[in-house]
């Protein structure tokens, strides 16, 4: 009687399945740059609107501690006239700068809003105005003007806006 010897090892098909599973797991483990790229774009957009903070602050001082209701009250161009690479419009509401995103950003971020709010010392119109971005906390002893409309996912916000 002859005994048939069995070969020991893996078949080519089994090896290919294992390699495919390892490749899928490696792809999932790789960090995505989308969040970091979007954060850099948000920083660029915030820097673009930086000069308009002076308009809001000047209006606040000129009107004895009342923030401007809209762009016209702040002496700024219409909201849709202030644009940038990633900014579709800049709208002032009760002193708050609402940045509506669009332009060169992915479609999923179009019409998302990032709010930049002035913070102030109540009943002291001559005290300096500071600014907070997005979901950033209001410093102790200060108050934030207007409403925060930020609806961006926190992973897209720069560190100072979280």
Domain ranges of the chain: 33-156
User: In whole angstroms, what is the distance from residue 72 CA to residue 91 CA?
Assistant: 10
Q: What is the pLDDT of residues 59-104, one digit of tens each?
A: 999 988 899 999 999 999 999 999 999 999 999 999 999 999 998 8
Which CATH superfamily includes the segment(s) 33-156?
Glycoprotein, Type 4 Pilin (3.30.700.10)
The pLDDT > 90 percentage for the chain reads 60
The answer to whether 54 and 97 have CB atoms below 8 angstroms apart is no
What is the DSSP secondary structure assignment for residue 86, as one 8-state letter? S
Locate 27 and state its tokens: 């792809």
Predicted pLDDT at 145? 95
Over residues 121-126, mean pLDDT? 86
Is residue 35 exposed (0-12), middle (13-18) or buried (19+ Cβ within 10 Å)?
A: middle
Q: What is the pLDDT of residues 96-115, one digit of tens each?
A: 999 999 988 888 899 999 99
Q: Is the pTM of this model over 0.85?
A: no
Locate 127 and state its tokens: 């005290």
Locate 82 and state its tokens: 């202030």
């Amino acid at each position: 009687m002859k005994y048939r010897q069995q070969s020991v090892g893996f078949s080519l098909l089994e090896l290919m399945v294992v390699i495919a599973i390892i490749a899928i797991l490696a792809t999932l483990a790789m960090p995505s740059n989308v969040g970091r790229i979007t954060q850099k774009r948000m920083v660029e957009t915030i820097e673009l609107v930086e000069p308009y903070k002076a308009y809001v602050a000047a209006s606040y001082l000129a009107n004895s501690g009342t923030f401007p209701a809209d762009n016209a009250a702040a002496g700024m161009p219409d909201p849709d006239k202030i644009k940038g690479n990633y900014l579709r419009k800049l709208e002032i509401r009760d002193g708050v700068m609402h940045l509506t995103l669009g332009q060169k950003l992915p479609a999923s971020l179009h019409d998302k809003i990032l709010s930049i709010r002035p913070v102030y010392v109540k009943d002291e119109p001559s005290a300096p105005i500071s600014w907070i971005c997005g979901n950033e906390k209001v410093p102790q002893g200060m108050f934030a003007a207007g409403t925060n409309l930020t609806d961006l996912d926190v992973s897209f916000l720069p560190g100072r806006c979280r």
